[in-house]
Amino acid sequence: MALTLALTATGCVTVHGELAVVPAATEAEAALALKEFTAAYNAADKAYDPALAAPRVTGALGSVNQAGLKSRSVNYPDGNPRHTPLELTDPRFTITKKAGWPRYFVADVDSNRDRDGGRQDNRWVIVFLRNGPDQLWRAAYLTILAPAQIPALRTGQDGFATPVPVDSATLAHRPRALSDAYASYLQTGSPRTFKDGPHTSGWRASRAEESRRPGRSKQYLDEPATRGDFAPLAFPTEDGGALVFFTVRNFERETAAKGVPIKIAPDVRALLSGRVKSSLTKERVSSQAVIVPPAKDGGEADAKGGGKVDVLARLTGLTSAKGA
């Protein structure tokens, strides 16, 4: 499996690349990055070896991918007995153009992992990120959506998109603030930044139900994750809004009454440190794909309230567990 990319002057400007506004990649480079990601994903999934995928993943997706492979390598040391190669076809790339690093693009692709045995079509939306001319393209965010859920992204006459700044006041809510707002909302129900749905009010309701089990209790803590490759990335939509990807960390602590055992699933036990005597704390990384509407009247949206954010999907994965 090749682990390098051919670099061209379009994708890597070594003299003035930090100042000039240039496309993040050519479409051929984007296609090659997708191909190399798929090859690495399949090799790692077949062997259950996180090292085989590590060069091609980062950020939220990288955390979930690497922890999941580590867990399965413990439970299936001989590899994946049910491996079916992932196939990603019909790629549609939206490539941003900007000055400096990082640079990124999004690939909207068809997959052979449709839901309900193929009765419900879906597409993988993958954000690729690169922090410098000597780095590989890595997949930082992944969300799985029905075709009708994917918004139309705005590009210029040259076919490239101008990324939305994380502090943009043209949106109803600033992308930089979404991780903090989501973590706060999950904890308290405030601020009311997000529309009701399975990933907002529904998730809070299911947590409340889980916290009241006889003989045991569950407590939840949510923290924003905004640094480095976990930073939010925003792509402009045709209606003046943005498709934004961001990350939060979720902690779930289960405490049992004396004499009540805590069940530990095999995937959790594989990542467990410490001994579970009365409590088990699980850490998860959750990435969200959301639609942020444009600000009304072009004003400072956060001050005026603006429209609510629609959480299209989230990808959550266990990354560690600790007993006490």
**Structure confidence at residue 158 (pLDDT):** 97
> What is the DSSP track for 11-45?
T--TTTTTTS-EES--HHHHHHHHHHHHHHHHHHH
Q: What is the pLDDT of residue 306?
A: 55
Q: What is the pLDDT of residue 12?
A: 40
pLDDT at 119: 63
Q: What is the pTM of this model?
A: 0.91
- Kindly list the structural domains of the chain, giving each domain's residue range(s) and its CATH number in brackets, ordered by start: 1-163 (3.10.450), 164-324 (no CATH)
Instruction: Evaluate the CA torsion angle 289, 294, 300, 305 in order and state its sign.
Output: negative
Per the CB < 8 A criterion, the answer to whether 321 and 272 are in contact is yes
Q: Which residues of the chain have pLDDT under 50?
A: 1-16, 298-305
pLDDT of residue 212: 82
CA angle 107, 110, 114 (to 5 degrees): 130
pLDDT digits (tens, 9 = 90+) for 187-227: 999 999 999 999 999 999 999 999 888 888 999 999 999 99
Amino acid at 87: E
Tens-digit pLDDT profile for residues 250-293 = 999 999 999 899 999 999 999 999 999 999 999 999 999 999 99
